[in-house]
Structure 1
Amino acid sequence: MSGDRRGPFVVAHRGASEEKKEHTLAAYDLALREGADGLECDVRLTRDGHIVCVHDRRVDRTSTGTGIVSELDYETLKGFDYGDGAEPADLLTLADLISLVLDWNSKPTKLFIETKHPVRYGSLIESKVLAELHRFGIAQPASADHSRAVIMSFAPTAVWRVRRSAPMLPTVLLGDTSHYLGGGAATTVGATAVGPSIKSLREHPSIVDRAAASGRATYCWTVDEKADVELCRELGVGWIATNNPGRTKAWLE
């Protein structure tokens, strides 16, 4: 996972989620057609161990159903509509999204997978995600730069587990500035990139150079304003997550 001063590369945050309902195939398909360099998703485990792309602990905000993801089985969750009313959408699994990315022929696209914590099943989410990446043959890339998947988390322990089990997979430690300014947590867990919010980056632009000095890329979220896109480009941020990848790509041209 590398970036350079010609970047940043554009990651579609939950798909093209400003235009389509988040975490739906329609949102990710639009992001790919708009030229996104990467797709971002959040993953959780259902009660019966399926990996689903849902940001919140509950499905109330994003579906016609109600309840906690980890307390519901896959068949129950699959029965809800995750669309916007006018455009119905099925529950998206990580396998669905990996297939979409690998089948996309226009250009290689990276999948940025965020594991949520704290969660009921603890480290099982990382184990399940790595098993799925192995199943698709993308858990052991030849190098981090050529990897099709990136694992991210706000939990340092989650990043450490991935680095220990799949050392060639790039990882992002997400969080506030305390993780980056001293370099402590990112160094300890072996993260290959740091992931500050755009607010943190505005307040502490030196994050990017400090990360680069320790051999790490920078992934910034969630960058939707033109001035922030320009700031990221000026600072040399490698990857930016945005809800509108098409517009952001146009700004960068």
Structure 2
Amino acid sequence: MEVVAHRGASADIAEHTLGAYLEALEVGADAVECDVRLSADGHLVCVHDRDLRRTAGAPGKVSTMELSDLAELDFASWKKPWSDLDDEAPDLDPALGGVLTLRNLLATVAEYHRPVELAIETKHPTRYGGLVEKRLVETLREFGWAGKESPVRVMSFSHTALLRMQRLAPDLRLVQLVEKAHHWPMLRPIVPRDWIIGPGIKQLNLHPGLGEHLVREQRRMHVWTVNTEKNLRYCQELGVEAVISDKPGTMLRLLGRK
């Protein structure tokens, strides 16, 4: 079973920062996961929310700000708001806690000393629509990662976005994320058999029939966000291929790999 670091090692270090991803690589994560949004000047940045209040403590939306403006913000301090009062707390490195571009994350993974996969989620709805996928494919091609041998798979809750990805880069692996169990009957007839299905662990627990149905249909599953031993064991029983976790080190230890 593959262990995927959800927004990096985000249980311990602020999500989507370079520090969180370096920690995930250090503990041995098989893959890292990120969300991408477009800045106003066309850069893909790793940020989950549309606005910046939660992770940067600032007003405004990612889509209305240029990369230079985003680079002025602190994306790390919110995780440990009292650290400045702790004399023993290490100083935060701005390079590890600023806005992270997708290109920087890809370069970090490409230069790492062992193979690491990436699960990239395109966020929708967005004011830029299909430009997000277009920019993503352009960036992946720069790294030679838009073909069959790519370590990248693309995920989205938007079926339309994944169809767009299929047209732009037909050899990439795709993951149809499923937000609610009752969405699956509508998605089932239109999701190709070779796509991976990505249900959330909460929905699998609330609606066991969803997992049982996916198993019967021999659908490949990547499940988010798995942070406890109980949920990890349940995923093992279902034959899940990958678990996406805020605690990649813990999951690896529970699997006997650390």
Same fold (TM over 0.5): yes
Spell out the pairing of 1:82-121 with structure 2 (5 A cutoff).
82-84=75-77, 86-87=91-92, 88=94, 89-106=97-114, 108-121=115-128
Paired residue for 2:141?
134
Q: 1:27 aligns with which of 10, 20, 40?
A: 20
Q: How far 1:134 moved relative to its partner?
A: 0.7
Superposed, 1:1-253 pairs within 5 Å as 7=1, 9-84=2-77, 86-87=91-92, 88=94, 89-106=97-114, 108-142=115-149, 147-175=150-178, 176-180=180-184, 182=185, 184-185=186-187, 187-190=189-192, 192-208=195-211, 210-211=213-214, 214=217, 216-253=219-256
Q: Which moved more, 1:112-121 or 1:133-142?
A: 133-142
Alpha carbons 1:208, 1:237 under 8 Å: kept: no
Is the Cα contact below 8 Å between 2:215 and 2:238 reproduced in 1?
A: no
Q: Distance in 2 between matches of 1:127 and 1:214?
A: 32
Gaps of 5+ in 2: 82-90
Q: What is the CA–CA distance in structure 1 between the aligned matches of 2:238 and 2:210, rounded to whole Å?
A: 9
For 1:21-73, what per-residue CA distance to the aligned partner results, in whole angstroms no more than 9, with x for missing partners? Answer: 11011100110111111101010001111100000001121114321000111
TM-score, with normalisation over the residues of structure 2?
0.87
| One-letter amino acid matched to 2:181 | T
**Structure 1 unaligned residues grouped into runs of 5+:** 1-6
Bigger shift: 196-205 or 132-141? Answer: 196-205
Q: In structure 2, the residue corresponding to 1:171 is in which secondary structure?
A: strand
Give the letter for the 2:59 counterpart. Answer: T
- Count of aligned positions: 239
- Structure 1 residues 174, 91: closer, same or farther in 2, change over 3 A? same
State the identity %: 41
85-94 or 164-173: which moved more? 85-94
Q: CA deviation at 1:237?
A: 0.8
- Runs of 4+ in structure 1 off by over 6 angstroms are none
- Structure with greater Cα Rg: 2
Aligned amino acid, residue 109 of structure 2: V
